[in-house]
Structure 1
Amino acid sequence: MPSMDTKPEYQHYIPQFLLRNFAHQYAPPGKSKAGKSGRRSRKNKMYPGDLVVNSLSLTDPFSLDECLVKRVCGLENMYENPAKPVNIRPRLEKQFAEFEGRASRIYRQIVNAYKNGNQDVWLGRAEKDVLRKFMALLTFRGNQYYQRYNVDSVQEYHEDDKEILQAYMSKHGFTKPVDVWLQGLEKIIDLDMDLDIGAKDDEEDGENWEQRIRESIYSPIAEMFIEHMSAMYMAICTPASDDEEFILTENCYNVTEGQTTAYYDSRTGKHVTLSPRFHMFAPISPRLIIVLRSNLLPDPLVDADPECKWWRQFERLLFFGSQYGSGTRSILEDLPIRKARNNYMDVVNGMLAPRHGWNQQLGMSDRFHFTIFQIPTRHVQTINGLLIDHAFHGSRIIFDRKDLFLDLMEWYLTEPWDD
C-alpha cells in the first residue's frame, strides 16, 4: 500500500483525450458559459472554464450532474504494484501514457476527418494495429477487470477459472490475482505486432504474435486478446440523423452483443451463462463510434463470392451454432457496415480480387480505407440501449446534449426490445 506521505494518484481507465470529446466548459448556474467569475463552486470544486462532462449518476437517487474530466472514469492508484517501492512511479502507468499518446493521434485523424466532412479515413497497417491493440487494452484495463482481479488472495477470487488462476500464480510466484492482471497489461503493451511473414490477410497478421502472447501471460487473458484482435473487424459509424448521439458508459469497452444462454455445468455443479461476441463497441465522440463485428457475420463483399459465403456460414454454424444453437442471431445482424478496403485488393464485378501487379505479400506499407458508415436510428438506439443495459457495472452514463439524452432515455424506458 502507498505510504502516508504518498499522495494518491487518480488514474483514468477511460483516457482523458476521449472524455474531452464529450466535454464542455463549466459555467456556474445563472452564468453563461462565457461568464468568467473566476470563483470556484464550493459544492463541486469546479472553476468556470474547467472541462466537464454531462452525466447521469447511477447512485441512488439517480441525478443529472456535471463532472470534471480529470476526476471521472478512473480510480486512485489503480496500477499500484505493492511489490515495488512506493517512491517509484509504476512502469505500467508510463507505458500507458506513451501508448495513449500514439493512439490519441490516430483517434484525432478520425475525428478531424469527420469534422472536415470526409466520408472515409485512410490508416496505415501500423496505425490500424495500434488502434486495435489500444481498444483491447481499454477492455482489459477497465473497472470490471480491475474489480475481478483486485482481491487480496486467490481464496477470495470466485470466478469460474479459479483453479486455473491458482495454478498459474503458483507456477509464476504471484501472491495476488491483481499481479496476474498487471502482468497481462504490461505484456500486451510491449507485444510487437509488426507484420509476420506468415500473415494471411488484413485482419490477421500471422500467428507468431499469437504464440508469443500465449506464452507470456495468463491464458484466459491471452485468448480474449487474440479473439479481440483476430476474430472481429473494425468499422467506424456515425448516426445518419443530426438529432442523435452516442453515449459513453464507464464499462462500454466491456459490453458485448449476443444473446445470453444459461446452462448447468454438471462437472462443477454451477449454473453458467455464456453469450457469443457478435459486436463490441468503442465510443469516440457523441457522433462517432468504432464497432467491432464478428468475422462470421454477413459482409457484403465477402458474401459476394459464393464459396467465401459458404465457408463463412459453415464456420458460423460450427463456432456459434454448436455452442448457442443454430438459430442464434445478432440483433445487429443487418448493421450496414463492412470490412475496410485496402490498397492491394480491388472490387471486380462486385467481388474482391487481388490488384493487378500485387506480389501477394502483405507489408507494413499497406494502407486501409475505412468508410465512416452512416447508420439508421434503430441501430443507434440499439447500440446505446446495449450500453445502458450494462451501465450498472459502473456509476454513471456520460452524454453530450441533454435534450437528446432525455429522448434516448424515454425511448429506452418505453419501447419494447426485440430479442
Structure 2
Amino acid sequence: MTEASTPQRAEKSSYHHFIPQFILKNFGYKYRPLTKVEMRQKAKQGIYPGNILGKGICLTGPDAALVDTKISRTFGVQDLYADAANSTDKEHIEKLLSGLERSASKIIALVRSRHDDGEKLIVLDRAEKDVLRKFLFIMKYRRPNVRDKYACSIEDFDGAEKDELQKYMRQKGFQRPLDVWLNNIKAMLEIKIDAGCKWEKVLMQKAYPPDAAEFIVHTRLFYLSFCSPSDENDEFLMTENSYGIHEGPRSTMVDPNSGRVVATFHTEYHTFAHITPNLTMVLRSFLLHSPVDVSGEDIGKSLEMLREFNISKHDFPERATSFLKDLPVAKARNSYTRMVNGRVVPYQEDEAWPTSLILFKTERSARSALEHYLTLDPLSTSHGLKLIFPTETLREAYFRNLEGAVRLLNGNVSAAYRFDDGTLEGVLTRDEDQLFDLVSQNDEVLQAYYKISNKEALDRDDFKQSREMLKQRIKTDARTKGRDEEFRGKARKDLIHQYWERPPQQLWIYLKRQRYLMHGGTILGLRSDVHDYPLPAGLLPGPEDVIARMSEIFHASHLSRMMYFATMNHIKFSDPEFGVFKELNLDDEGARRLKEERGVVFGPQGSICDCGILPIEIMAKKTQASFHEAGMTTLDTRPLDPGLKSVLDGVLDSKKRFEMATRVTSKALWMDVLKDDIFNVLFNIIFPVFLFTPRKEIMKHNWAA
C-alpha cells in the first residue's frame, strides 16, 4: 500500500481516555486549596484550583499510596492510535466517537437524574438502548489490553486466529493488525442499528468477522439493566479495566511451547460499566435466568440445554457458574405489552371514552388511529373493548361521532362494537371460517398462535387477512399464467417477501391454508372468494407450529422466513413422487428426482449460517470459515459409498459442498443440545443434508406433540 512509502506529516500528540471523562467526573470533585502552601505544592504537580480531581489508590510503587489524580489525565493513554496507517481515519473515528459520547452522555445523565430522584423504573426507547449498547462495546473494544493485542506485526501476533487474521489482512490490503483494529472501530461507529437487524450483515462485511460477531453477540444476547448498591453507604470502585469488565468463568491451559498460561474458553455472564459511585450499567447474559422470564416450557428447556452446553466447554463444569446468578435484575419490559398468566400479551386499553376532546398533531396519524380502533374486532379480545351495555345509548352515539370524525379526516369507516349479551351490531359480521374453529379446538396449535401473536385470544382479523393472502397468491398464479417460469417465479417470490413483513401469526395461518390448498381442501370461487371443503383436523398441525412455539430463539427478522420454508419444504417432502423419497435409480426419472431434491436442499432458504438462531449462526460461520481456509471439508475425508460419492461429485459445486459440510458438522454439534422437534425442523426440513437424510426421519414427527 502507498502509505508505506509516503512520508507522513508530523501529527499532534493526543491523550485518549478509554473511560470517558463525563463518567470519570462523577467520581471526582472540584479542587479548592485550603492554604497557599497547599496550592503551591499542587501546582508543582500540575494541579490548579478548579481542576477536577479524583481520590485514588496508587499501586505502581512498592507500597500503595493515596493520591489525588487529575481526571483529565486518568484512565487514558497517550496516542492510542499511534502506528496506525491512515491519519484521516483517526480524525474521522474521533469525530464519530465524540458524537457517540455526546448521545450516550445525554441518556446517562437522564438515567442518573431519575435515579437520584428515587425513581425505580427507567424508561428508554429502542434508539436510546441501542446507543448505550454501542457505546459500551466501543469503550470495551478501545481498552488498552485489546489495542495491545493488535499493536504488533502479523508475524508477532499472538492469538489462535493468527492465520485467519493474516488471510483477512491480505484480502483487505491491511499492512498491520492495528489497522484492522482501527477499521473495526470505524465500522462499528458508522453502523446504523436497525430494528430488523439488517445492520449485522453489513457489519460482518465491513469489519473483521470474529470481532464483528462479538459486537453482534454483545447487542443480541445480553439485556441491559441499571443497578445500585443495596446499602446506600456502599460505592462502586473504578479501575482501569472496570469499564467493560465481565464476570464469568475462564478456562486456561499452559502453552507447551512458550510456557505461558493461555485462555481456552470463557463465558461472559455479566458486563459492567459504572456511571457514578452508586449507579452502574449491567449487561446480563441470556444464559442466566431472569426474574420475569416469560419463556414457555419449550424455550426454557432449550435455554437450559444451551446453558449446560456452555458450561460443559469449561475444564471444571461444576464451577463454571455465575456467582451473581441471583442478581436482582430483570429484562426490560416494553411499553406495549403486559403479563397475563405468565405470558406476554399486548395492552389493549379502552380508556378513551368518555372524552370531550381528542388532541392530535397530524390528520393522517389521527385518521389511522381512529380507523384502527373503530374496525378492531370486539371478538378478538376479552378486555371489554367497545362493549356497550343496554342502557349506554350515549356510548353508541359516541361511536357514530367517531365515524363522522374519520370522514372529516378524509376517511370512511364503520364502527364494530358489541353489546353485553354477545350479539353484534352495525356492519360487523362473523364469517364462517373452519380454520378458526379448528385452531380453537386444538390446544397445542392454539398455544402456538398465542406465542407467536402475543395475543390472549384468537383474532378473527388475522384469519381474514390470511384468506386474503391466499387469494392473492392464487391470483398471482392465474395472472402470470402463460408467462415464462422465471417471470412467474419472481412474481411469487416478490409476493411472499411481502408476506414475511406482515404480522407473523397471519403468515402462520396462511401456511396452514396453503397446506389445505395443496390437499384440495380450498378453492377460489367465481367471485374470487376463498371457499373451504370440510377440512380434516389431521392436516392442521405442521412444522410452522414448532417454530412458533420456539419463536423466542429466532430473531424476529428471520421468524416468518423460517416458518415459510419449514412448511413449504415439508409439503414437498410429503409427496412420495417428489425428490429422493425412495431408492434412487440414475435413469431419467432418477435424474428428475435428484434435481428436485437438490433444488429444495439448496433452495432459497439459503445457508444454515443465516438460520436466525444466533448461537448456531456463529458456530456455523466459524465452521464454514475453517473449511474455506483448509480448502477441504469433512466430505473429502469421510468414507462414502462409491456410488454416492459419484453422485455428489457430479451435482455439487464447491459452494454447495462447503454448505453441506457445514450442515453435517452443525447437525452433529447441536444434536444433543436442541429439543427433538426443533432439531428435526431445522436440520431435516429447512436445512437438510443432501442424500444423507432418510425421508422417514423427516416424515416421522407428530407436530402436535
Q: TM (normalized to structure 1)?
A: 0.75
1:375-397 CA-to-partner distances (Å, cap 9, x unmatched) read: xxxxxxxxxxxxxxxxxxxxxxx
Among 292, 297, 308, which residue is 2:288 paired with? 297
What's 2:47 paired with? 46
- Cα distance change of structure 1 residues 304 and 167 upon mapping to structure 2, 3 Å threshold: closer
- Cα distance change of structure 1 residues 24 and 317 upon mapping to structure 2, 3 Å threshold: same
Measure, in 1, the Cα distance between the counterparts of 2:87 and 2:309: 50
- Cα distance change of structure 1 residues 355 and 265 upon mapping to structure 2, 3 Å threshold: farther
Q: Secondary structure in 2 aligned to 1:41? A: helix
- Cα distance change of structure 1 residues 323 and 37 upon mapping to structure 2, 3 Å threshold: closer
1:327-375 CA-to-partner distances (Å, cap 9, x unmatched) read: 3311111111110011122012344333348895899xxxxxxxxxxxx
What's 1:223 paired with? 213
Q: Which residues in structure 2 correspond to 1:180-329 (within 5 Å)?
A: 180-196=180-196, 206=197, 208-263=198-253, 272-273=262-263, 274-302=265-293, 305-323=296-314, 327=318, 328-329=320-321
Residue 81 of structure 2 contacts residue 90 of structure 2 at CA under 8 Å; is this kept in 1? no
Please list every run of 5 or more consecutive structure 1 residues that lacks an aligned counterpart in the other structure. 197-205, 364-419
- Cα distance change of structure 1 residues 310 and 104 upon mapping to structure 2, 3 Å threshold: same
Measure, in 1, the Cα distance between the counterparts of 2:96 and 2:205: 21
Q: Which residues in structure 2 correspond to 1:7-18 (within 5 Å)?
A: 7-18=12-23
What's 2:136 paired with? 135
1:80 is displaced (CA, Å) by 4.3
Q: How many residues align?
A: 347
Residue 302 of structure 1 contacts residue 352 of structure 1 at CA under 8 Å; is this kept in 2? no
Residue 256 of structure 1 contacts residue 279 of structure 1 at CA under 8 Å; is this kept in 2? yes
| Structure with a larger share of its residues in strand | 1
Q: Secondary structure in 2 aligned to 1:114? A: helix
Measure, in 2, the Cα distance between the counterparts of 1:186 and 1:42: 39
Q: Secondary structure in 2 aligned to 1:121? A: coil
Measure, in 1, the Cα distance between the counterparts of 2:70 and 2:134: 27
Measure, in 1, the Cα distance between the counterparts of 2:305 and 2:323: 20
1:12 is displaced (CA, Å) by 1.1
Measure, in 2, the Cα distance between the counterparts of 1:173 and 1:126: 34
- Cα distance change of structure 1 residues 69 and 266 upon mapping to structure 2, 3 Å threshold: closer
| Structure with a larger share of its residues in helix | 2
- Cα distance change of structure 1 residues 322 and 84 upon mapping to structure 2, 3 Å threshold: closer
- Residue 67 of structure 1 pairs with residue 84 of structure 2: no
Two-structure CA RMSD over aligned residues (Å) = 3.2
What's 1:202 paired with? none
1:307-339 CA-to-partner distances (Å, cap 9, x unmatched) read: 432232122123333456653311111111110
Measure, in 2, the Cα distance between the counterparts of 1:85 and 1:343: 45
Bigger relative CO (Cα 8 Å, ≥ 6 apart): 1
What's 2:598 paired with? none
Measure, in 1, the Cα distance between the counterparts of 2:53 and 2:9: 30
- Residue 331 of structure 1 pairs with residue 323 of structure 2: yes
Measure, in 2, the Cα distance between the counterparts of 1:105 and 1:4: 36
Measure, in 2, the Cα distance between the counterparts of 1:45 and 1:246: 28
1:92 is displaced (CA, Å) by 0.9
What's 1:347 paired with? 339
- Cα distance change of structure 1 residues 85 and 99 upon mapping to structure 2, 3 Å threshold: closer
Q: Which residues in structure 2 correspond to 1:11-26 (within 5 Å)?
A: 11-26=16-31
1:4 is displaced (CA, Å) by 9.2
Residue 298 of structure 1 contacts residue 333 of structure 1 at CA under 8 Å; is this kept in 2? yes
Residue 252 of structure 2 contacts residue 262 of structure 2 at CA under 8 Å; is this kept in 1? yes
Partner amino acid for 2:151? N
Partner amino acid for 1:146? R
1:219 is displaced (CA, Å) by 2.0
